Structure 1
Amino acid sequence: MIQLKKMFSAAVIVAASLLIVGCENNDSPVYTPTTNSTPTITAQSPSSNATNVVLNKVISITFSEAMNSSTINTTTFSLKQGTTSVLGTVGYSGTTATFTPSVALSSGIIYSATISTGAKSTAGISLAVNTTWNFTTGVNAQGLSTVGLGAAGNYVILAKTAINNNPTSTITGDLGLSPAATSYITGLSITNATGYATSAQVTGKIYAADMASPTSTNLTTAVNDMTTAYNDAAGRPSPDFSELGTGNIGGKTLTEGLYKWTNTVTAPTNLIISGSSTDIWIFQIAGDLTVSSGVKITLSGGAQAKNIFWQVAGTVSIGTTAEFKGVILSKTGITLARGAAFTGRALAQTAVILDGNVVTKP
């Protein structure tokens, strides 16, 4: 009996050793758990019973998990006006399905969108029930209007209290600082000229409030316009998406529209912003915005960084080597960690902190 126990123990040790070796060699584990959860709908746009929906609206659904794209089609995702089916195309990316009508919707009409149980997760599990919701169109042909930046749009970086850089960054576009003086711009090894300064790290000019006229006046106008733009973005009513992902937007595909969160938003994994070259995105964030290291924002379908507005009441933190897109309107500060790449505009009502970044105007 003792000998058998020893043999059994030895076998367990050998098996465990083999499993460890396999893991160290990046082999597939012996046991892989599977997910058998039933997929649900976590967001839809337009929302149920929404009114004044624009006539060029792209209908979208966000699922609780990744779906089998082959099951997301015009059979499972449909739009009707009464009993008449609306022609359109269906797309799927990340966890979001979209229905794009072939022609503009009619004004003042009730439409019903349906996603059926034919839609299945990657594990082959269907939605629990068919889901149908209604919305009513308005009279406007277009969706969100852009956020006007005014003179703030002349700068790729604009701040009030400081612009601090840990070399070496590569910046394309002009920088502005007001009401703080030139001494609060650090790490750029600037060379002063009349009314502006230059830097080997900047393809553009650098302006501060203490420089020769008319720089101070121009910056005052730009800073005021930055505040106006922030208030415009923050005050847009009737969001298409509220509390999406309870603030976690990692892995999601974000279609055009107005998004609202009453707390912090995080992006721990890659995400996609999908839409046409004329679509507008406004993200209203009452807390902080935190993008994890290495996270990449990808634009698809023609979406442009200049049409994406991140209105953030708290701080903005872009992680190491992350790739961020869009115009940031921050009521406080913006920090880019080492090696992060940013295509857009960093417009902060306090400071902008850089650390060996690539910053490019949209």
Structure 2
Amino acid sequence: MKQKKILVAMAIVLVTIITSCAKDDFQETLGLCPVVTSTNPINGATSVPLNQVVVVTFNEELNPNTINANSFIVTGSSTLSGSITYSGLTASFTPTVNLSPNTTYSIKITTAVKDLRGNALQEDYIFTFSTGATLQPIVISTSPTSNETGVALNKVVRATFNMPMDATTLNTSTFTLKQGTTTITGVVTYSGNNAFFTPSTNLVSNTIYTATITTGAKNLANTPIASNYVWSFTTGTIVAPKVISTDPSNNETGVLLNKVITATFDMPMNPLTINSSTFTLKQGTTTIAGTVNYSGTTASFSPANPLLADALFTATISVGAKNLAGTSITQDYVWKFTTINPSIGPNLGTASQFGAFGGNAGVTNQGINTVVNGSISTTAASTLITGFHDATAIYTETPLNKGLVTGSIFTAPPIPGTAASFAIATQGLIDANAAYISISPAMKPGGTDPGAGELGGLTLTPGIYKSASGTFNISNGNLTLDAQGDPNAVWIFQTATGLTVGIAGLTGAKSVILINGALPKNVFWYVGSAATINGAGGGTMVGTIIANSGVTFSTAGNSTQTILNGRALSLVSSVTMVNTTINVPQ
């Protein structure tokens, strides 16, 4: 037992010795001693950068007051001056000037360093490192290159170095640009390994400039370039921008009232110079309000309101419009155009010959008294023309369904359809679709709805009429169109969905009546869906109906003749007739 007690006592003494730290008064305080755990650079490091900050890390927090020039000493050929900081477990020494190349430095952390309990570093900690050779910065490329010609007048001059530089050494004293002996004013900036000289104003055309990087330009180790770097370049000829196209073009007519006017340049322009002062639109002496935008090489003017119909407008791009080099167009660019006259009807092209066109679905007759004074057509096969004949062929007629076509019938094969007749039908559909678009609200805006969708009982003068609800009806009486003595008067009716003429019953048929010189050829119906004309039979409809999804006349079994003085053109669906007479306008 006595031997065991002796061993325990010896262990306690050994632990006390290991964990104790000597104090200045040679008393012992139980606890951990400060120890250096790492350094940067590490002991024996070579090729250390000349702008190295020396960092020493300890195992515990120290008394900051003990980290100073007396306890953190850096020595080369002599003791270095610098600033010492301490944070967390780390002490740093930042030299006042860069280290010398090819030099060995010794760092001593003395026993004056103590922790917060007063425990001192047990012995001086010493480590060494060596710096590398001086690396000389050089200019490795420039823009413009030496002796380059045709340089843009708004050129930013650039010099690229082989290593990071001290940005504070790159300024208007070390990076200069001259024209002869005249110094060009500008701003010098630095990013990455690139120095940039941005002239305050554009350079002069056809002129030699000399750029210089002086030996005042230094790298991060404070090493300057070996000698002034000098290069020259020559600017190019001033190229004035010009307008190469406009929309509308000069003297164009029939321009839409909601037209966005554009002008395209032959080079990129300065967007800040394309505005309502440099891009204007006038009708006579009246300036049109609008918004000016610029994208790519195109300037656009969007009128705030629809343009006046049948009016002459003048658009102008003034000399205030400049390219990116600050060069103006040589003179104001002026062009004129005339807006559309809404009273001018669409061009039906080859579709004008058709009394009925059944898209790709065909044309059908039910009755023995159907007559089309004109031609009919479909892009479908000939078998989808039923109950008709022309002077050359019969198309699926029966004793109860016989219809006369005084013109021709055009379809796809098989016989009597041919490739030639199919080509005519195809072109007819193209022309009908173009006419349909040309009388749409998008192309002819501004239509009114005087009867809230009901046209019966109204007398209308020439103009554009658009259903607010999306449908037009003629059910409360006949519709009268008054040309007021103008044989060229045009009416355009626009409905987003359906058109219905007439109501049920023996006396339900309704008609369109033309007075004072009005002509069927000048009346047009834009129908977004389908049109139904006098389902009870009878009545006289007037005008060219262009419907997306079919036109139907009367109802099977009606013997009363229904008349259309115009055309029934369906872009997609079929046209169906029951004892109907269609007279194609001339």
TM-score w.r.t. length of structure 2:
0.37
Paired residues of 2:344 and 2:490 also in contact (CA < 8 A): yes
Deviation digits for residues 135-165 of structure 1 (CA, Å, limit 9, x no counterpart): 9994469543221111111211111112110
Distance (Å, rounded) in 2 between the aligned partners of 1:138 and 1:246: 30
Instruction: Tell me how far 1:261 sits from its aligned partner.
Output: 1.4
Match of 2:289 in 1: none
Pick one of 537, 542, 545 that aligns with 1:325.
542
Instruction: Tell me how far 1:306 sits from its aligned partner.
Output: 0.8
Give matches, 1:219-258, under 5 Å.
219-234=425-440, 235-239=442-446, 241-258=447-464
Deviation digits for residues 42-98 of structure 1 (CA, Å, limit 9, x no counterpart): xxxxxxxxxx8xxxxxxxxxxxxxxxxxxxxxxxxxxxxxxxxxxxxxxxxxxxxxx
Gaps of 5+ in 2: 1-256, 258-283, 287-307, 313-337, 503-507
Match of 2:387 in 1: 187
Give matches, 1:122-271, under 5 Å.
138-139=311-312, 143-160=342-359, 161-168=361-368, 169-178=370-379, 180-188=380-388, 193=393, 201-210=404-413, 211-234=417-440, 235-239=442-446, 241-262=447-468, 263-268=470-475, 269-271=477-479
Distance (Å, rounded) in 1 between the aligned partners of 2:386 and 2:562: 18
Alignment partner of 1:272 is 2:487:
no
3-state SS, counterpart of residue 246 of structure 1: coil
Distance (Å, rounded) in 2 between the aligned partners of 1:237 and 1:212: 37
Paired residues of 2:527 and 2:545 also in contact (CA < 8 A): yes
Instruction: Tell me how far 1:238 sits from its aligned partner.
Output: 3.2
Give the % identical residues: 27
Paired residues of 1:256 and 1:281 also in contact (CA < 8 A): yes
Gaps of 5+ in 1: 1-51, 53-106, 110-134
Distance (Å, rounded) in 1 between the aligned partners of 2:403 and 2:509: 27
Distance (Å, rounded) in 1 between the aligned partners of 2:466 and 2:403: 39
Paired residues of 1:108 and 1:136 also in contact (CA < 8 A): no
Distance (Å, rounded) in 2 between the aligned partners of 1:219 and 1:267: 31
Pick one of 480, 491, 494 that aligns with 1:284.
494
3-state SS, counterpart of residue 201 of structure 1: strand
3-state SS, counterpart of residue 245 of structure 1: coil
3-state SS, counterpart of residue 225 of structure 1: helix
For CA contacts below 8 A with separation 6 or more, give which structure has more relative contact order.
1
Letter in 2 for 1:205: S
Distance (Å, rounded) in 2 between the aligned partners of 1:310 and 1:136: 21
Pick one of 311, 329, 336 that aligns with 2:526.
311
Letter in 1 for 2:551: I
Instruction: Tell me how far 1:212 sits from its aligned partner.
Output: 2.1
Distance (Å, rounded) in 1 between the aligned partners of 2:358 and 2:347: 18
Instruction: Tell me how far 1:352 sits from its aligned partner.
Output: 0.3
Distance (Å, rounded) in 2 between the aligned partners of 1:286 and 1:193: 38
Match of 1:295 in 2: 510
Assess, with a 3 A threshold, how the Cα gap between structure 1 residues 176 and 347 changes in structure 2: closer, same or farther. Answer: same
Q: Which has the higher helix share?
A: 1
Instruction: Tell me how far 1:237 sits from its aligned partner.
Output: 3.4
Paired residues of 1:191 and 1:197 also in contact (CA < 8 A): no
Match of 2:582 in 1: 359
Paired residues of 1:108 and 1:138 also in contact (CA < 8 A): no
Letter in 2 for 1:334: V
Aligned residues: 230
Deviation digits for residues 184-231 of structure 1 (CA, Å, limit 9, x no counterpart): 11122567559x999762211111111223211111111111111111
C-alpha root-mean-square deviation of aligned residues, in Å?
2.8
Match of 2:553 in 1: 336
Deviation digits for residues 273-305 of structure 1 (CA, Å, limit 9, x no counterpart): 111210111111112100013212110111111
Letter in 1 for 2:435: A
3-state SS, counterpart of residue 525 of structure 2: strand
Paired residues of 1:170 and 1:359 also in contact (CA < 8 A): yes
Letter in 2 for 1:155: F
Q: Which has the larger radius of gyration?
A: 2
3-state SS, counterpart of residue 419 of structure 2: coil
3-state SS, counterpart of residue 299 of structure 1: strand
